[in-house]
């Protein structure tokens, strides 16, 4: 089988450009290649909506199966990907996910997070 690395590279670059252009057209915001490739682009409204959906499910599973259940860990892992990428996500994981009882500190409404842990603010 003849393998042409140049053609594969060209194809991948064109596919990435299409994804970026599509994301930019949908959101109206510029999207970097790194954000697109790693799935890091998530806006505040989307994060808030997902959090509001996951929070009651998290509490229900904790009440029924305990905080160490596989389901709870999966929900917390998903929640850990919601904050803005970078220091805010790091701070969120450190306080709410990696701490043994950090989930108890999670607010019901994501609007109650400080800018240190969520979208918005200076960083």
70-80 residue pLDDT tens: 999 999 999 99
Percent of the chain with pLDDT over 90: 46
The more confident residue out of 6 and 93 is: 93
Looking at per-residue pLDDT, the higher value among 81 and 27 belongs to 81
Global confidence as pTM: 0.65
Rounded percentage of the chain residues whose pLDDT exceeds 70: 63
pLDDT band at 37 (very low <50, low <70, confident <90, very high): very low
CA distance 119 to 84: 5
How many Å apart are CA 54 and CA 97, to the nearest integer?
14
How far is residue 120's CA from residue 123's CA, in Å, rounded to a whole number?
Answer: 7
Q: What is the mean pLDDT of the chain?
A: 78
Mean pLDDT of the region 91-101? 94
**Three-state SS for 28?**
coil
Residue 21 scores a pLDDT above 50? yes
């Amino acid at each position: 089988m003849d393998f042409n690395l140049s053609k594969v590279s060209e194809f991948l670059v064109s596919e990435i450009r299409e994804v970026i252009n599509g994301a930019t057209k949908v959101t109206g915001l510029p999207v970097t290649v790194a954000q697109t490739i790693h799935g890091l682009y998530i806006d505040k409204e989307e994060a808030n909506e997902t959090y509001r959906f996951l929070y009651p499910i998290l509490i229900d599973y904790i009440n029924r199966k305990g905080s160490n259940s596989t389901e709870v860990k999966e929900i917390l892992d998903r929640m850990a990907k919601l904050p803005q990428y970078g220091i805010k996500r790091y701070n969120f994981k450190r306080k709410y996910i990696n701490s043994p009882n950090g989930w108890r500190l999670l607010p019901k409404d994501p609007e109650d997070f400080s800018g240190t842990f969520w979208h918005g603010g200076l960083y």
